Amino acid sequence: MEQFAQWLQATQLSVAIQSTTWLIPLLQSIHIVMIGVVFVAVLLLVLRVLGVARTDEPPSVVWAHFAPWIKRGVTVLALTGLVLIISEPVREFTALSFWLKMLLLALGIASIAALGSALRRDGAASRPLAVFTLLLWLAVIFLGRAIAYDVEVWGALSFKA
Of residues 118-147, those binding ligand HEM (CB under 6 A) = 137, 140-141, 144-145, 147
Interaction mask 57-96, ligand HEM, x per CB under 6 A: -----------------x--xx--xx-xx--x--xx----
Task: Please tell me whether residue 116 binds ligand HEM under the rule CB under 6 A.
Answer: no
Residue 54 engages ligand HEM in binding (rule: CB under 6 A): no
Helix pair 59-87, 96-120: axis angle to 10 deg: 160
Number of residues binding to ligand HEM, judged by CB under 6 A: 24
Residue pair 12/110 in contact (Cβ under 8 Å)? The answer is no
List all residues 6 or more positions away from 147 whose beta carbon is below 8 Å from its beta carbon.
Answer: 91, 92, 95, 97, 98, 101
Of 61 and 99, the one with the shorter C-beta distance to ligand HEM is 99
- Specify the stretch interacting with ligand HEM by CB under 6 A; choose among 2-10, 35-43, 55-63, 113-121: 35-43
Return the closest-CA partner of residue 92 out of 158, 147, 33, 21: 147
Return the range that interacts with ligand HEM (CB under 6 A); candidates 15-23, 29-37, 50-58, 124-132.
29-37
Best CA proximity match to 59, nearest among 8, 137, 114, 123: 123
Which ranges in 88-161 belong to alpha helices (H)? 89-93, 96-120, 127-146, 150-154
Contact positions vs ligand HEM (CB under 6 A) = 28, 31-32, 35, 38-39, 74, 77-78, 81-82, 84-85, 88, 91-92, 105, 137, 140-141, 144-145, 147-148
